[in-house]
Amino acid sequence: MSKKETISLIDTFSEFKELKNIDRSTLISVMEESFRNVISKMFGTDENYDVIINPDKGDFEIYRNRTVVADDELEDPNLQISLSEAKKIDEDYEIDEDVTELVDFIGFGRRAILTLRQTLSSKILELQKDNVFSKYSEKVGQIVSAELYQIWKKEMLLIDEEGNELYLPKTEQIPTDFYRKGDTVRAVVAMVENKNNNPKIILSRISPVFLERLFELEVPEIHEGLILIKKIARMPGERAKVAVESYDDRIDPVGACVGVKGSRIHGIVRELRNENIDVINYTNNTNLFISRALSPAKISSIRLNEVEKKAEIYLKPEEVSQAIGKGGMNIKLAGMLTGYTLDVFRELDEETETEDIYLDEFSDEIDQWVIDALKAIGCDTAKSVLTISRQDLIRRTDLEEETIDDVLTILNAEFAEEDESDESDESADQEKAQE
């Protein structure tokens, strides 16, 4: 066996001896199994061999055990040794005794060394995959940091400090996220897939869990368990609502989360690309919780349907737009946070109410999806629609211009008919008075 092949075998051993994240006993077991596989392929069995691995010294020893037989009874040179050969080792050997001798693995030949390298590589790779899967399975729901290595159309490839590959899909990125190769990215471990023993770690920056973990990092009271995050509702990159509760009456949970002059929440907002975060006090009182969730709007009254998880919210006309929020965001988040379907209604005085007409009464002339779009911006009556300019209606509902024009025509016609009816009634009264 050449010196080059001897060095190759030593390098193979050293290469795997330096592997990270693999404990000593596992490494020894894997290497011993690899040696035994090679021996078994060469001789049909490895049962009569002792393999001793010494990772500290970076070497190994292999011993073969054979039974002494008479010279004319030798059948299997791997399991048996003739008496004459045994006596060359030690004159005291006799038939049926066991002979243990050190085997030079290099002497098994080049094929044996190549097979050993391939077997070791395969087993170590499998071991590393199992290790990565186990490690990150335990980290699901935790924040990790990794370096951005490559950007693709549908996902980004990140590399952690140990060289493991992590993936951040486009669908799990905040819409306003922008990174360059080499940037450090923080995200929460969302899931770990394991297809055909190939672990794939999926990260997320839009998960409510990511926001929760950021609060734990920034707010010591949450980390220590004095304040509990009860619920989170997020529209990533836009706005979020977080309901918190304190187990200590002396601690104001909202104030603790926000910090002096917003010092604590500022870091979270910056990490989430300026996502607006509303922190509110949690309560078991559903009416009060819904009212807080719709802040900054001031609620006049709430009518609950706990069976269907629905709530009718009544507000003064000037409060409706605040309750709904830009693009309906505030009411959507409030619904997500409370678990209720929220419908907003304007409070009308008796005189206005008798003169106005609910949009649902126009369902024979206006499509229901159009009525729903108008309700979503707080317009549940005809006059509430007519008080808003045409351009504002188009912008806020995102409906086509023709659709808005048709709605305005129908609603204006209704009130025009009422005005004509009122005028004819007045004329008739005047004629009767003259008579």
Chain segment 357-391, per-residue pLDDT in tens: 888 888 888 888 988 888 888 787 888 888 888 88
- Which among 8-17, 168-177, 341-350, 351-360 has the top mean pLDDT? 168-177
| Backbone φ and ψ of 176, nearest 5° | -95, 5
Reduced DSSP (H G I as helix, E B as strand, rest coil) percent helix, strand, coil of the chain, to 5 = 50, 25, 30
> What is the separation of C-alpha 135 from the centre of its chain, rounded to a whole number of angstroms?
16
Do 114 and 7 fall into the same domain? yes
* Residue 424: pLDDT over 60: no
Do 99 and 186 fall into the same domain? no
Nearest-angstrom CA–CA distance, 330 and 250: 30
Q: Supply the pLDDT for residue 197.
A: 81
333: confidence class by pLDDT, cuts 50, 70, 90: very high
In a domain, 276, yes or no: no
Handedness of CA 113, 116, 121, 124 (dihedral sign): negative
Do 12 and 108 fall into the same domain? yes
Q: What is the mean pLDDT of residues 57-71?
A: 85
Domain of residue 352, CATH code: 1.10.150
Domain of residue 54, CATH code: 3.30.1480
* Residue 1: pLDDT over 50: no
Among the three residues 133, 159, 178, which one is the final residue of a domain in this structure?
A: 133
Do 62 and 125 fall into the same domain? yes
348: confidence class by pLDDT, cuts 50, 70, 90: low
Burial 387-421 (b: 16+ CB within 10 A, else e): ebeeeebeebbebeeebbebbeeebeebeeeeeee
Average pLDDT, the chain: 85
Nearest-angstrom CA–CA distance, 22 and 13: 14
Do 79 and 169 fall into the same domain? no
If you search the block for the tokens 């090679």, which residue do you land on?
Answer: 38
User: In Å, what is the CA distance from 214 to each residue of 263, 308, 340, 354?
Assistant: 14, 34, 26, 52
| Per-residue pLDDT tens over the stretch 99-146 | 998 888 777 778 887 888 888 778 878 888 888 999 999 999 999 999
* Residue 171: pLDDT over 90: yes
In a domain, 100, yes or no: yes
Q: Are 230 and 254 in contact (CB under 8 A)?
A: no
In a domain, 229, yes or no: no
Q: Are 187 and 180 in contact (CB under 8 A)?
A: no
* Residue 330: pLDDT over 80: yes
In a domain, 288, yes or no: no
Do 36 and 85 fall into the same domain? yes
Do 387 and 432 fall into the same domain? yes
Report the SS3 class of residue 370. Answer: helix
Domain count, the chain: 4
Domain that holds residue 187: 143-206
In a domain, 213, yes or no: no
Report the share of the chain in percent with pLDDT over 90: 46
In a domain, 235, yes or no: no
User: In Å, what is the CA distance from 376 to each residue of 121, 155, 270, 295, 379?
Assistant: 61, 34, 30, 17, 7
| Per-residue pLDDT tens over the stretch 232-243 | 999 999 999 999
Whether the pTM exceeds 0.85: the reply is no
Do 8 and 126 fall into the same domain? yes
Of 391, 323, 400, the closest CA to residue 367 belongs to: 400
Q: Could you give the count of Cα atoms lying within 13 Å of 185 in the half-sphere of its Cβ?
A: 30
In a domain, 249, yes or no: no
Do 54 and 94 fall into the same domain? yes
Q: Supply the pLDDT for residue 420.
A: 52
In a domain, 55, yes or no: yes
Of 175, 173, 176, the closest CA to residue 148 belongs to: 173
Do 341 and 371 fall into the same domain? no
Nearest-angstrom CA–CA distance, 130 and 370: 54
| Per-residue pLDDT tens over the stretch 19-60 | 556 667 777 788 888 888 888 888 888 999 998 887 666 678
Do 325 and 353 fall into the same domain? no
Domain of residue 167, CATH code: 2.40.50.140
- Which among 5-14, 109-118, 196-205, 378-387 has the top mean pLDDT? 196-205
